[in-house]
Homo-oligomer: A and B are copies of this chain.
Amino acid sequence: MMNTKADSNFNSVETFLTQCQKVNSPIVLVTSGGTLVPLEKNTVRFIDNFSTGRRGAASVEYFLELNYSVIFYYRAGSIQPFDRHIHNVFDILLSTSHSEQLTKTIEQYKSYKNNLLSISFKTVTEYLDGLELLCKVLNPYRKLAMIYLCAAVSDYYLPLDELPEHKISSEQNELVLRLKPVKKVLGDVKQHWSPDAYVVSFKLETNKQLLQDKCIKSLKKYGHNMVIGNLLDTRETMVDIYDEEGKKCTTIKRPDNNCEIEHQIIQFLYKKHEEYRKQI
């Protein structure tokens, strides 16, 4: 797994934001990838989810193109912006010239790398602690900040005092895991940590029937500015957008195979965030 740049730590966030302030760019926090739930203290096994982090990494690129400064808060090992376009590094290193696409990617990386700060997490506990910290640091930037919650956060975990100390023996007839719900912090983002930020969250379901209800319920419960609903099977071609009024405001479809749906989503969000920033 390659990273486009060395990981930063939380201390670097304030410095990064001060630079953003100088150029008065909007700022977005993009969370990306899945979160791990350890099943043992000496962690050998864990529960994970399918998220590759592709959507988060793609979104980062489109935000950068629209002049956002981006804090990319991603699961270690998940897909990285720019880097994701490189499929066979040795083919590239052994070839004498670069393809048009690669040349474009290299140029984009050069142009945008100073506007991107990357910070990684692994477990759901690390993720939640870091999210609180990042939202609070963004709070003074008020409406200039967007919080784009694209990470696939675990719903259940094994509380620390229930974790076995050592690797679970493989010789039991059955292994019973009793998982508890993870504390829901989606409400805290707007209610406590960063009340003026423009907050967008994602809702992924596998059952079409449930999706609309869940999105509307989520909007009302957590007070976000937008909820983007998508189904596991069609998530790369279609999403439904639900806004503050608690109803579906639009459906975004990928126009063709040469285009990523995130391009459309971020264009749409850009306009919504711009309107929001102009509100008194």
Residues of A bordering B, CB below 8 Å: 1-6, 39-40, 42-50, 52, 77, 79, 82-83, 86-90, 92-94, 98, 102, 106, 109-110, 113, 152, 154-156, 166-168, 170-181, 204-207, 210, 232-233
Task: Report which of B39, B52, B77, B90 forms a contact with A47, defined as CB distance below 8 A.
Answer: B39
Task: Report which of B45, B98, B155, B206 forms a contact with A49, defined as CB distance below 8 A.
Answer: B45
Note all chain B residues with C-beta closer than 8 A to A82.
Answer: 90
Contacts A3-B87, A89-B2; is A179 near B170 (CB within 8 Å)? no
Q: Closest B-chain residue to A43, C-beta based?
A: B50
Q: Closest B-chain residue to A122, C-beta based?
A: B50
- Judge whether B90 and A167 touch: CB under 8 Å: no
* Majority-rule SS of A interface residues: loop
Note all chain B residues with C-beta closer than 8 A to A177.
Answer: 175-177, 179
Task: Report which of B52, B89, B170, B171 forms a contact with A89, defined as CB distance below 8 A.
Answer: B89
- Judge whether A166 and B206 touch: CB under 8 Å: yes
- Judge whether A89 and B83 touch: CB under 8 Å: yes
